[in-house]
Chains A and B, each alone.
Chain A
Amino acid sequence: MTAGETLLEAKGVAKTFTLGKVEVPALRGVDVSVRGGEVCLLMGPSGSGKTTLLSILGCILSPSAGSVSVMGRDTAGLPERELAKVRLAHIGFIFQSYNLFPTLRAVENVQVALDLRGVSGTDARDRALAALASVGLADKADVLPRDLSGGQKQRVAIARALVAEPAVILADEPTAALDSETGRAVIALVRELAVTRGSSVVIVTHDPRIADFADRVVRIEDGRIVANGEKTP
């Protein structure tokens, strides 16, 4: 990955959901691109289309119109099986409610991301332990999620998202369930790890306090980008 190179790009993305006989537009022609090493915040009121855009950027939802390219590969029209391969190869996810496996220990949760990519055994465990150490949880490797605090769970989720060194990190409200201090610490950590590795980071958030950690803030309202501004350092 090269810092500055566009790793994730959406062009003219529109998405319309059909609820019964009613068509509800969620996105109306969105253009956005994220470079390697850049942290981009998607902000906007509830129902503005942030999460829909994140799902489309993450190849989880297909757009009704427009295109999305990940690492230069156009994903338009790809079947779910191929989209899953794109997600597996290039994208790491961080979820609002952590989405950890409650029956697996912290290190095993991280190992899952490697196992999906065919890395197993001692190598996987060593890499998972290193990822946990990088988020400051080396001593919690064998702890089940139920015995971790919210901040610690989110750190495990970050380790899981980063362990396979994906080009793109997508985070959905990663601080929503955390107190402000822990939230800031988590975002700082994501930024540090991602920027160091040259990954593109897109974070959906309502939290204006974490804007300090972003290179760019994209504001969405009613499915349209209303502001797309790079911050000055």
Chain B
Amino acid sequence: MTIRIALRNLLHDRVRLAVTLTGVVFAVVLIAVQGGLFVGFTQATTCVIDNTEAEIWVASRGVRNFDVTHPLPPRKFHQILGVPGVGRAERVIVRFANWKKPAGGRESVEVVGFDPGSGLARPWNVPAGAMAALKLPDTVAVDALYLEKLGIAGGKGVGEAVEIGDRRARVVALTSGIRSFTTSPYVFASYENALRYTGMEDGQCTYVLVRPAPGVAVEALRDAIRRNVRDVDVFTREEFAGKTRHYWMFTTGAGMALLIAASLGLVVGGVVVAQTLYATTMDHLAEFGTLRAMGAPGGYIHRIIVIQAVAAALVGYGCGIVVSFFLVDLAARGGASIVLPPVLAVGLFFLTVVMCVTAGLVSIRKVTTIDPAMVFRGA
């Protein structure tokens, strides 16, 4: 009966129900989009690190994130190779460069130079066979998402001739779904080609990627490199990814802005739901007073309000998550990176229920203080 009373109360005023649901949908969509942007950005900041096969990253001392760091002198690479326990080590370049569009104009790109032979930092989501082409001089791979930004959408990308750092380059492969957190698209090239595009000296690199020899623990090798090679920072893959994520998300304030926006969605949605549930409760105050006069336990009346809140949460979440997935799909076709993983969607469901039930507490407080004698005052 409590379910029936709760649902009938909600449906009694359709306009108010619409406002309630709009509040919930607004909160769900805002939190989903902002949360999805946070997850998407977080993943984008470390996608290259996460997709490498190397367990250890070595960078110049004081590195703060993946995208911006000082070059390592050539001798560091050789010192690392000499550390006991190193199975394989490769030089990788990550550096910003100028991309000159075929039709004129320039664009900043982030060149990732790696060894196509072994490919510790090779691009992923790339068609089979395309990697071999990157071994050729003056060849690069770019992501299909950025063809227009890079001015090569007209020719569909592959085969287009451009200039990077005033050096000739030809697009020989397209990756898919490799987004850059910075506004500069990744351009993958062989280490040798990347040296020329970035103007670095022969033998220099920005990172040395290391795989331990069989049987050597990652942490032990990391510590060994720290002891044996001076003026470098050494991280496991997870440590470096975490450092980069923290830098972009929190040190720059970008992540906090997204989290604050998501929190605002929660607060605004909660206030709207609280206000409308309260108004619904006030509309039915006489009935709640009657129930109290009849001897209804507090739990009976509270249950009605909680059911109203949960019903609003369920319907509002259902509509909100559909809208959110639609927006995610829309964003995926554009440049924005909104990722709505199942764990976020499920977490958002529980958050919505908590938000609505919390909003209902205002109403519960009201009905708890109803004087049952109101029924004799013609209320």
Contacts and interface: CB of A to CB of B under 8 A. Distances in A.
Interface stretch (A39-47, A85-93, A195-203, A220-228): A85-93
B332 interface: no
B68 interface: no
Nearest to A88: B295
Nearest to A124: B1
Given A103-B5, A103-B12, A108-B1, A95 B290 contact: yes
B293 interface: yes
Nearest to A85: B295
B132 interface: no
Nearest to B290: A99
A102 interface: yes
A97 interface: yes
B239 interface: no
Given A86-B295, A108-B1, A116-B295, A103 B9 contact: yes
B135 to A, nearest CB: 74
Given A104-B4, A120-B1, A60 B372 contact: yes
Nearest to A80: B372
Given A95-B375, A95-B376, A103 B294 contact: no
A108 B1 CA distance: 8
Given A61-B373, A103-B12, A96 B294 contact: no
Size class of the B contact interface (CB-based, 8 Å) = 20 to 34
Interface in B287-325: 287, 289-298, 300
B8 interface: yes
Contacts of B4: 104, 108
Given A103-B8, A104-B4, A104-B5, A55 B376 contact: yes
Given A86-B295, A101-B287, A115 B373 contact: no
A93 B12 contact: no
A115 B291 CA distance: 11
Contacts of A108: 1, 4
B342 interface: no
A9 B119 CA distance: 94
B375 A102 contact: no
Interface string A8-34: 000000000000000000000000000
Contacts of A58: 293
B286 interface: yes
* Best-surrounded residue of A96, A103, A172 (most CB of chain B within 10 A): A103
A97 B378 contact: yes
Given A96-B378, A102-B12, A116 B372 contact: no
* Best-surrounded residue of B9, B295, B300 (most CB of chain A within 10 A): B295
Interface in A47-76: 51, 54-55, 58, 60-61
B8 A104 contact: yes
B296 A84 contact: yes
B13 to A, nearest CB: 10
A162 interface: no
A113 interface: yes
A91 B292 CA distance: 12
Interface of B: 1-2, 4-5, 8-9, 11-12, 286-287, 289-298, 300, 372-373, 375-376, 378
21 contacts: A51-B376, A61-B373, A81-B297, A84-B296, A85-B295, A87-B294, A95-B375, A96-B378, A99-B290, A101-B5, A102-B12, A103-B5, A103-B12, A104-B4, A104-B5, A108-B4, A112-B294, A115-B2, A116-B294, A116-B296, A116-B300
Given A86-B295, A89-B295, A101-B5, 18 more contacts: A60-B373, A60-B375, A60-B376, A88-B295, A88-B297, A91-B295, A95-B290, A95-B375, A99-B290, A101-B8, A101-B287, A104-B4, A108-B1, A108-B4, A116-B294, A116-B296, A116-B300, A172-B376
